[in-house]
């Protein structure tokens, strides 16, 4: 995501991003997913900007009935291939759609998104996701944390603060608002540090 001089995050940008990938890029789900969903009973889940499906498949394997939405057809093709190769992929449906305009026509027990940053102001995007949470359901957002040094790794529109996120998801009840630092293996075995903003919020019943 650091190669283009401008970052408009439209469909062309994401199609290019995924067409440069040889494969799905096997990795573990981000650690916030297991921690933040540990107390939840599986139900319906939406992974908004699911990429090649790592988190969606993790949820499906644990009994969630998952809808994975992404704007990039190639990412979804890779996700579907991964699912097809699993002995027990669980219930997962892949939907090619632009989340800035898509209307699910239903609500979900869990709406989750990680690093999606579409071509829309964060506040409007996360407000849309919050609307799709069912009564008693949960919204989990993971974003690249805005720090003084983060600009070197991520373009400014990809960065969020906890204040951005918590302001966006009202009237949901904030249950987690945390900053985390973790080290991940990147392409070519290079380790790099990720600073995450993590917000979990619930819609009262
Ligand atoms: C940085 S990737 C993150 C993918 C995955 N969630 C992860 O954590 O690896 C952002 C994803 O959001 C998708 N995306 C960006 N804008 C979108 C939009 N408007 N509608 C649907 N998906 C979008 C991209 O295609 C891409 O797969």
**Does any domain span residue 167?**
yes
**Does any domain span residue 6?**
no
Name the percent of the chain in helix, strand, coil, to the closest 5.
30, 30, 40
Look at ligand 1, atom 14, and give the residue with the nearest C-alpha. Answer: 49
Beta bridge partners of 111: 46, 139
**Does any domain span residue 85?**
yes
Q: Quote the domain boundaries for residue 162.
A: 11-21+41-202
**Does any domain span residue 35?**
no
| Mean pLDDT of the region 118-123 | 89
**Does any domain span residue 141?**
yes
Probe target for ligand 1 pocket from 10, 11, 32, 49, with the most ligand atoms within 8 Å of CB: 49
**Does any domain span residue 36?**
no
Q: What is the CATH number of the domain that holds 71?
A: 3.40.50.150
* Number of structural domains found in the chain: 1
**Does any domain span residue 31?**
no
Query: How remote is the CA of residue 88 from the centroid of ligand 1, in Å?
Result: 25
Q: Give the other-Cβ count within 10 Å of 73's Cβ.
A: 15
pLDDT digits (tens, 9 = 90+) for 25-65: 678 999 999 999 999 999 999 999 999 999 999 999 999 99
> How sure is the predictor about 140, in pLDDT bands with cuts at 50, 70 and 90?
very high
**Does any domain span residue 2?**
no
Which position has the higher pLDDT, 137 or 2? Answer: 137
Nearest to 132 by CA among 95, 160, 161: 95
CA–CA gap between residue 51 and residue 16 (Å, rounded): 13
pLDDT digits (tens, 9 = 90+) for 71-117: 999 999 999 999 999 999 999 999 999 999 999 999 999 999 999 98
């Amino acid at each position: 995501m650091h190669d283009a001089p401008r970052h408009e995050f439209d469909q062309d940008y994401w199609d290019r991003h995924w067409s440069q990938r040889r494969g799905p890029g096997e990795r573990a789900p981000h650690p916030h997913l297991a921690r933040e969903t540990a107390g939840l009973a599986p139900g319906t889940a939406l992974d908004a900007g699911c990429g090649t499906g790592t988190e969606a498949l993790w949820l499906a394997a644990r009994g969630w009935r998952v809808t994975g939405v992404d704007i990039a057809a190639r990412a979804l093709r890779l996700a579907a291939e991964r699912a097809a190769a699993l002995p027990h992929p669980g219930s997962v449906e892949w939907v090619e759609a632009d989340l800035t305009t898509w209307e699910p026509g239903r609500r979900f027990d869990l709406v989750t998104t990680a690093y999606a940053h579409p071509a829309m102001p964060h506040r409007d995007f996360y407000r849309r996701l919050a609307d799709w949470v069912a009564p008693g359901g949960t919204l989990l957002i993971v974003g690249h944390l805005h720090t003084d040094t983060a600009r070197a790794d991520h373009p400014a529109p990809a960065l969020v603060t906890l204040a951005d996120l918590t302001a966006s998801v009202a009237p949901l009840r904030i249950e987690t608002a945390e900053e985390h630092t973790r080290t991940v293996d990147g392409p070519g075995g290079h380790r790099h540090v990720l600073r995450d903003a993590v917000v979990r919020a619930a819609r009262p019943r």
